[in-house]
Amino acid sequence: MKTYKYKIGNQSNTIRIGNLLDDMWQVHEYFHKWQRQRYKDGLPYADYHAMSAHLTDLKKTTHPHWRALPSQAIQEELKRIHLAYDRFFKRLGGRPHIKKRHKFKSITYPGPAGWSLKNNRITLTLRKWNPKTRKWQYDKVPYTFHKHRQWHGTISRITLKRDACGNYWLCITTPYTDFKPLPTTGESVGADFGMKDAYLTLNTGEKIQSPQFLKQSLTELRKLNKALSRKVKGSNNWWRALHQLARLYRHIANQRKDWHYKLATDLCRRFDLIATETLNLAGMKRLWGRKVSDLSFGQFVEILKYKCQKHKRELRQVGQWTATTKPCSDCGFHNENLTLSDRRWTCPECGSHHDRDINAAINILRAACDPSVEQQ
Ligand SMILES: [Zn+2]
């Protein structure tokens, strides 16, 4: 699966996507509340088909305006609600919650119906009420998007998105998978994630620093936050300031993602096998706070997985209960006295000097190649 993202430019009818999202949010809110009321009344849970039947009734009686919405996208939303409740009943997830209107950001067309694509133009098939004939009639609404690259494969679904900056995006998903194997190098690497000295420490002794994009933009963030707090909430100026702030956050996120892609590609070029630790993100957040989100190890690992698949590299993740920090990489002595603040230490058993992170990286690579160690 691969998703391509295209920006939909501002045009006279862009607002209709926004209205569409707001109307779809009403469907979302209505069915969540309906399920909750049924639960309170002691009625059995209504599954996707029951919700679908109820929707047909609503369209005929109290909610005729929902006929204007694309039926494929409504059905997809009902499926999402059903899945959320299904997970809840199987104790796989928490109680499904109702999204706030501005948090409802996307609608999905699961198949080839309801839209058509030609070059850089997508045409949505919406409906509108014709007062003369007193009937609902099809209304084809075209949107042009910035097609900066061609997608590969047949389209399996499309999603329309609204972001916090007030921009709209078209996401095209295809079953295509990138596969561009790189020549083998015969090299393996162990990599240790870190907070203090370096973002990534390799067993070769190399330390890769994170540019810390959030920190770089902190002054500007404060400035925009201050400007926002001076505006009257809900006013035009307030919205403008809010979008400016959202744009800066998006810029930071893009910078970070770009750097992650480059780092992952670089590792794939140099090594056949890449070994890392499984991350305990919740634990890290408790320990380090905001810095974790700025470093976003989780995103980097996902990108690394994708790149390894694309370039035919092997990624091994050592289970989080494997000891990698405390054992000496020369003699295997477990240094139980090691604390978080010890960046360098000397092994009391064999006397070798260690850099904490490099030692861990060596242990990670060794554990990844050891068949007796739990791999994930
Ligand atoms: Zn030792």
Q: What is the pLDDT of residues 68-110, one digit of tens each?
A: 898 889 999 999 999 999 999 888 878 899 999 888 999 999 8
Q: Are 107 and 77 in contact (CB under 8 A)?
A: yes
Residues 157 and 230 in one domain: no
Is residue 167 domain-shared with residue 235, that is, in the same domain? no
Tell me the residues surrounding ligand 1 (ion) with CB < 5 Å. 328, 330-331, 333, 347, 349-350
Query: What domain range includes position 365?
Result: 188-369
| Token pair listed for 212 | 């810390």
In a domain, 32, yes or no: yes
Q: How far is the CA of 343 from the centre of ligand 1 (A)?
A: 16
The percentage of residues in the chain with a pLDDT greater than 90, rounded to a whole number, is: 62
Same domain, 249 and 356: yes
Residues 61 and 201 in one domain: no
Using the mean position of ligand 1's atoms as its centre, give its distance from the Cα of residue 346 in Å: 8
Would you say 349 and 333 are in contact if contact means Cβ atoms under 8 Å apart? yes
> Does one domain contain both 20 and 167?
yes
Q: Which strand (E) or helix (H) includes residue 70?
A: none
Taking the C-alpha atoms of residue 105 and residue 225, their distance in angstroms, rounded to an integer, is 23
Question: What's the 359 CA to ligand 1 centre distance in angstroms?
Answer: 11
Whether 274 and 210 map to the same domain: the answer is yes
343 shares a domain with 202: yes
How many angstroms is it from 326 CA to the middle of ligand 1? Answer: 10
How many angstroms does the Cα of residue 249 sit away from the middle of ligand 1?
Answer: 46
Residue 376 domain-assigned (yes or no): no
Residues 267 and 197 in one domain: yes
- Whole-number Å distance, alpha carbon 374 to ligand 1 midpoint, is 23
The highest-confidence range among 196-200, 250-254, 320-324, by mean pLDDT, is: 250-254
- Residues 122-141 have pLDDT tens digits of 999 988 889 999 888 998 99
What is residue 337's predicted lDDT score, i.e. its pLDDT?
A: 85
Residue 281 C-alpha to ligand 1 middle, in angstroms? 30
Same domain, 152 and 203: no
Residue 332: pLDDT band by 50, 70, 90 thresholds?
confident
Query: Do residues 141 and 15 share a domain?
Result: yes
Tens-digit pLDDT profile for residues 224-267: 999 999 999 999 999 999 999 999 999 999 999 999 999 999 99
SS3 287: helix
63 shares its domain with 194: no
Rg over CA atoms, the chain: 26
Asked if the model's pLDDT at residue 195 lies above 70, the reply is yes
Query: pTM of the prediction?
Result: 0.81
Q: Indicate the length of the chain as a whole number.
A: 376
Say yes or no: 209 and 328 in one domain: yes
Q: What is the count of structural domains for the chain? A: 2
Averaged pLDDT for residues 315-325? 85
Residue 300 pLDDT level (bands cut at 50, 70, 90): very high
CA 341 / ligand 1 centre spacing (Å):
19
Out of 15-29, 248-262, 263-277, 361-375, least confident range = 361-375
Distance CA 292, CA 132 (A): 60
